Amino acid sequence: MTAKYLVTGASGQLGQQVLHHLLASEGVAPADISAASRKPDQLKEFAEKGVLVRRVDFDDVASMEAGFAEAEKVLIISTDTLDRPGHRLAQQRAAIAAAEKAGVKHLLYTSMPEPVNSPLLFAPDHEGTEAAIQASALPAWTIVRNNWYFENVMMSAGPALASGHWYSAAGEGKVAHIAREDLGRAIAAALVAAGNAKKTYTLTGASSYTHREMASLISAAAGKQITVIDVPVEGLVQGMVGAGLPEPVARVYASIDTAIAHGSLAGITGDFKALTGREPQGFEDWIESQSGAFKSMIP
């Protein structure tokens, strides 16, 4: 059975938000959606609603070609393979080639803000994938550059609330976070609206914040003071290694602070509203809504 839309990475949290908004916000019929994942058993909830579930593995070219051949429009949610340098880019280039071979009419890809010459260590994966899409024979494509999720703040908030200290190499750099659900909403809208054009959107929140500003907001919501401690990037790496992270992974995470300091994640656009007709959820509203979760992180 052929579906109009196929979403890869559908069992992930962003993928599930895209599926939800295709159904709930865009009113797409379940039978017009294929949910593709290397773990299709995790998509039973959507299968029960009538969404077509397919096994698609980015390390299995045949599965991509077969799955993509069943859809007019394909969304490639960037894979999460960060521990093997170059592997994610190879996976995504293979997906683009499979989409060309399958005759996909419109390909969408989730990227990151300002990937070209970014100090973020995994930015070359996005830069290379964007370049492969632009050089492809695909008749139309949309690149959606997602800023950092609100939810990513939880990774820093836990240790910071436990110790009272947030170690940062970001200086006065800012991040224009956006809610994961809002990204799902906007990507679903872009998938449905995608026509014959070749477009790039950058999805951001309506405001941007430094680590100090974030720490202040979290402190107020949790009822515990967090002090931001400025450290060099190497100090940040060694601190994460000391906490048990493998050094290559620690360097990837530390490079996020470098990118923030560089200003790569601070830009604010109106692309979310252009796609959805509404304003994104405010960061401060989200922080307030998570006060219970923050309080639970305090020892």
Question: In CATH, which superfamily holds the domain spanning 154-158+165-173+206-266+281-296?
Answer: UDP-galactose 4-epimerase, domain 1 (3.90.25.10)
* Angstrom distances, CA of residue 196 to CA of 16, 34, 129, 230, 259: 26, 21, 20, 48, 33
Categorize the per-residue pLDDT at 51 as very low, low, confident or very high, splitting at 50, 70 and 90.
very high
Asked if the domains 3-148+177-203 and 154-158+165-173+206-266+281-296 are classified in one and the same CATH topology, the answer is no
Tokens representing 216 are 């202040």
Helices (H), 25-148: 44-48, 61-68, 87-102, 123-135
pLDDT digits (tens, 9 = 90+) for 165-178: 999 999 999 999 99
Residue 83 has pLDDT above 80, yes or no: no
Rounded average pLDDT over 174-185: 98
Would you state the pLDDT for residue 1?
59
Categorize the per-residue pLDDT at 194 as very low, low, confident or very high, splitting at 50, 70 and 90.
confident
Closest CA to 52 of 5, 12, 100, 95: 5
Categorize the per-residue pLDDT at 80 as very low, low, confident or very high, splitting at 50, 70 and 90.
confident
CATH class of 3-148+177-203: alpha beta
Residue 275 has pLDDT above 70, yes or no: yes
Whether residue 138 contacts residue 193, with contact meaning beta carbons closer than 8 Å, is answered with: no
pTM over 0.85: yes
Residue 185 has pLDDT above 90, yes or no: yes
Closest CA to 203 of 248, 263, 143: 143
One-letter amino acid of 177: H
- For the chain, the structural domain boundaries read 3-148+177-203, 154-158+165-173+206-266+281-296
